[in-house]
């Protein structure tokens, strides 16, 4: 079994790290450069940076902040938000990111996945899917979770892999910030139609939730924000308990 990853997430608004519930009621969580440096030192496997209002505000990702964070860390770094072209993706990678997360832009132009993968390799292309439950299915939302698309999230996950995405960042909007646990059914259903790694996002509140996401949800990585930002759970503690549970992790 491949090593499972722990990934803190920096949701950025106005240059600060923020965290909300169900994509709303944002509160300040600290300086992103300081948090990134701390997570790199404390054993995070990767880091995700999402400029959560860039697409909605029709502007580009904060490249200067990306450069400052990249200079402070020694772990793989994924950046998303407001990236709408192969050229903009190149700018982000040159600024120090290892991967780029694409969401709204690939719903509007799915071929962007193929073009990006051809240019930079599939390992650099992360398809971010923000999904909200609608009865027995899940609908894809874009623009920071503010706009429904009518797309079925499971079918969209299958399609982004076919187009060349190397990884999926799968966020349950219903669980986001609630600390009530990951949407295991969403993870399981997505895993039945894809073979690329899936990062579970939305709902982390306890160590048990993270273990469940990997064991039951079959996730390849767990992403969390507030439990790390506010030191409710230490990364070293989480990894130790995961190892005790028989999950391979990098210590």
Residues with catalytic function: 11, 130
Task: Output phi, psi for 11, to 5 deg.
Answer: -85, 120
Nearest by Cα to 205 from 188, 222, 217? 222
CA gap 140, 151 in Å, rounded: 5
CA gap 111, 182 in Å, rounded: 30
99-102 and 77-80 as β-strands: parallel, antiparallel, unpaired?
A: parallel
Q: Which residues of 179-203 are buried (b: 16+ CB within 10 A; e: fewer)?
A: bebbbbebbebbbeebebbbbbbbb
């Amino acid at each position: 079994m491949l090593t499972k990853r722990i990934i803190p997430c920096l949701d950025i608004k106005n240059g600060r790290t923020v965290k909300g519930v169900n994509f709303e009621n944002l509160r300040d969580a600290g300086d992103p450069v300081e948090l990134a440096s701390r997570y790199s030192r404390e054993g995070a496997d990767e880091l995700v940076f999402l400029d959560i209002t860039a697409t909605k505000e029709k502007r580009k990702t904060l490249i200067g902040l990306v450069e400052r964070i990249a200079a402070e860390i020694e772990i793989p770094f994924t950046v998303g938000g407001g990236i709408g072209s192969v050229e903009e993706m190149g700018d982000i990678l040159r600024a120090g990111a290892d991967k780029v997360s694409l969401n709204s832009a690939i719903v509007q132009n799915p071929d962007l996945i193929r073009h990006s993968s051809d240019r930079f390799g599939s390992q650099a292309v992360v398809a971010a899917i923000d999904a909200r439950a609608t009865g027995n299915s899940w609908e894809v939302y874009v623009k920071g979770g503010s706009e429904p698309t009518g797309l079925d999230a499971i079918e969209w996950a299958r399609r982004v892999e076919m187009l060349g995405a190397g990884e999926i960042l799968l966020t349950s909007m219903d669980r986001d910030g609630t600390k009530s646990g990951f949407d295991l059914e969403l993870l399981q259903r997505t895993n039945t139609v894809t073979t690329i790694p899936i990062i579970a996002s939305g709902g982390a509140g306890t160590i048990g939730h993270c273990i469940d996401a990997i064991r039951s949800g079959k996730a390849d990585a767990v992403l969390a924000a507030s439990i790390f930002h506010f030191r409710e759970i230490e990364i070293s503690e989480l990894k130790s308990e995961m190892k005790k549970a028989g999950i391979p992790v990098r210590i």
